[in-house]
Amino acid sequence: MNASSSSSTVDVATVLAALRRTLGDVAVIDADAQDAARYLNDWSGDYRGAALAVLRPATVAEVQDIVRLCGQHRLAIVPQGGNTGLVAGAVMEGTPRAVIVSLERLNRIRGVDAENFSMSADAGAVLQSLKDAAEARDMLLPLALGAQGSCQIGGNVSTNAGGINVLRYGMTRDLVLGLEAVLPDGSLFQSMTGLRKDNRGYDLKQLLVGAEGTLGIITGVELKLFPRPANVETAYLGVASFADAMALFRLAREVCSDLLTAFEVIGAECVALASLANPDTRVPLQEDWPVHVIMELGCSPTIDGRALIESLLAEAFEAGLLGDGTIAQSRAHAKAFWAIREDLVEGQANYGRHIRTDLSVRLGDVAPMIERARAHLSSNWAGWQPLAYGHAGDGNIHFNVLPPRGMATDEIRRHGSRVLEDLYAIVREFGGSFSAEHGVGRSRRSVHWDWLTPEQRAVSKALKAVFDPLGIMNPGSILPEA
């Protein structure tokens, strides 16, 4: 019997009373309490979740207690970090039939090992706090994303988060040196070795990375750190097309090699959304350009980063790839460039319900894919406005679509799902992915399942069964419920 089919028969009140006795009042929030709302609803406001209760363990042993007790009673668990995920992985809609386990109280930085260039932390530590702690020791934790002030490292690992620095440092997966997790039977998986090289058989910790809470609850993480680039150069550029932006990227890779840390594109139409979130938005370009680029490189003070970026831009200008641009004169100036990129995401949330994607294609297909999707929308979906921006240096574009102003929510839902299907069909034509970095969760489960081959489906189910034979861990996320 799996968790979903049996939870209606569970004496939930008895289980919650036992949990309250074990964990104390502070760790149990009733689902109808006012405080529960922020755990139930996701960041985007698109998903209104429901739960039997919210549990907030403060120690690894308490996480084990919860998982054991839920397992005994076949009660489903939804692990939750900062609840900034965008695919309904940490919230469950419909009739309440699971407990949310929030890691927010398990949030200590366990230590920084400067000699090993690594740090370890509880899973509930907020990403920004880890970045600050690394910086205080003159090192860099390169994972960087708009939600870093709220998302937790356990959530980042569970979604294998990307962000703006993947170009140079890789996805979260590449930063994980060790993991600790409570498995669905309540046992503790320990692999906090801090080793960079360790080829002893299967790399089991990597199975938990990107598993979105379906295989266990991550409680601790050890992460790779890097020397902090003291010399950072940031440029905000205007170019004529996405094709030119990608040609510029190629040139930047050749000229700057691995010093390039970020290469983001922003379709000019997105700037209006940034202004929606921040009316003081000022684009640092002399003229209007159809596509904007934020490019950053980082190096040690012994390298003349400014000379490098200037020579790149001169070469790009000469080659006709670059229209206009500004190099940041200070960290505050660079921060203002990045604010445009962050505000345009916030602006979309302010606009209201819209279609959100997270597509990836091979680098050579970025510009053709965007043009194809734009052409498709303009001929088939009059009034729907495309917004294209993203981590172009990783082939990752958020091709989002705003519905016509004033359209009713149920109309947006109905038509929007067809717009989404069309966009997924287009990215599939290019051999791409519908989820570059946000994961699958519940909102993309059916497309994920649809795209898998029968062999891939069988292996996914078998893997889930090995870790979680009772199906209590985040049921309905990534895989259909058994």
Ligand X SMILES: Cc1cc2nc3c(=O)[nH]c(=O)nc-3n(C[C@H](O)[C@H](O)[C@H](O)COP(=O)(O)OP(=O)(O)OC[C@H]3O[C@@H](n4cnc5c(N)ncnc54)[C@H](O)[C@@H]3O)c2cc1C
Q: Which residues bind ligand X (CB under 6 A)?
A: 43, 78-86, 89-90, 103, 123, 145-147, 151-152, 154-156, 158-159, 161-163, 212-213, 217-218, 345, 437-438, 441, 474, 477
E-assigned strands of 333-428?
A: 359-360, 385-391, 396-402
Q: Rounded to the nearest 5 degrees, what angle is found at the Cα of 322, between the Cα atoms of 320 and 326?
A: 150
Task: Give dist(CA 89, CA 374) in Å, integer.
Answer: 29
Sheet order of strands, 98-102 included = 28-30, 53-55, 98-102, 76-80
E strand residue ranges, 4-91: 28-30, 53-55, 76-80
Q: How far is the CB of 450 from ligand X (least distance, A)?
A: 20
Query: Closest distance between ligand X and the C-beta of residue 110, in Å?
Result: 15
Q: CB within 8 A of 27, min separation 6: which ones?
A: 19, 20, 55, 56, 57, 58, 62, 105
Least distance in Å: CB of 127 to ligand X? 8
CB of 9 to ligand X, least distance (A): 24
* DSSP 3-state of 86: coil
* 277-292 b/e (C-beta count within 10 Å ≥ 16 → b): beeebebbbeeebebb
Nearer to ligand X, 146 or 194 (CB): 146
User: How many of the other CB atoms lie within 10 Å of CB of 383?
Assistant: 10
The DSSP call for residue 418 is H
Report d(CA 262, CA 165) in Å as an integer.
Answer: 5
- By beta-carbon proximity to ligand X, the closer residue of 214 and 377 is 214
Which lies closer to ligand X via its Cβ, residue 156 or residue 299? Answer: 156
Q: By C-beta, is 126 or 291 nearer to ligand X?
A: 126
d(CA 353, CA 267): 20
Comparison of 231 and 460: residue with beta carbon closer to ligand X = 460
Residue nearest to ligand X (CB): 155
Q: Give 123 or 312: the residue with its C-beta nearer to ligand X.
A: 123
Shortest approach of ligand X to residue 160 CB, angstroms? 8
Q: Which residues contact 356 (CB under 8 A, 6 or more apart)?
A: 44, 86, 348, 398, 400
Task: Output the six-digit token pair for 242.
Answer: 């996405």
Angle at alpha carbon of residue 131, lines to 130 and 137, rounded to 5°? 95
Nearer Cβ to ligand X (55/308): 55
Sheet holding 118-122, edge to edge: 109-113, 118-122, 217-224, 176-182, 188-191
Instruction: Give the nearest distance from C-beta 344 to ligand X in angstroms.
Output: 10
Q: How far apart are CA 451 and CA 93, in angstroms?
A: 24
Least Å from the CB of residue 403 to ligand X: 20
> At its nearest, how many Å lie between ligand X and the CB of residue 294?
13
Helix intervals (H) in 226-296: 242-256, 271-277
CB of 393 to ligand X, least distance (A): 13
| Angstrom distance (rounded) from CA 125 to CA 220 | 9
Closest CA to 346 of 238, 338, 212: 338
Measured from the CB atom, the residue of 106 and 247 that comes closer to ligand X is 106
Compare residues 142 and 213 and give the one whose CB is closer to ligand X.
213
Question: In terms of Cα–Cα distance, which of 62, 138, 76 is closest to 442?
Answer: 76
Nearer Cβ to ligand X (96/162): 162
Q: How far is the CB of 182 from ligand X (least distance, A)?
A: 9
The region that residue 150 occupies, defined by phi over 0 for left and psi between -120 and 50 for alpha, beta otherwise, is: alpha
**Nearest approach, Cβ of residue 44 and ligand X (Å):** 7
Neighbours of 2 (CB within 10 A): 16
Q: How far is the CB of 151 from ligand X (least distance, A)?
A: 4
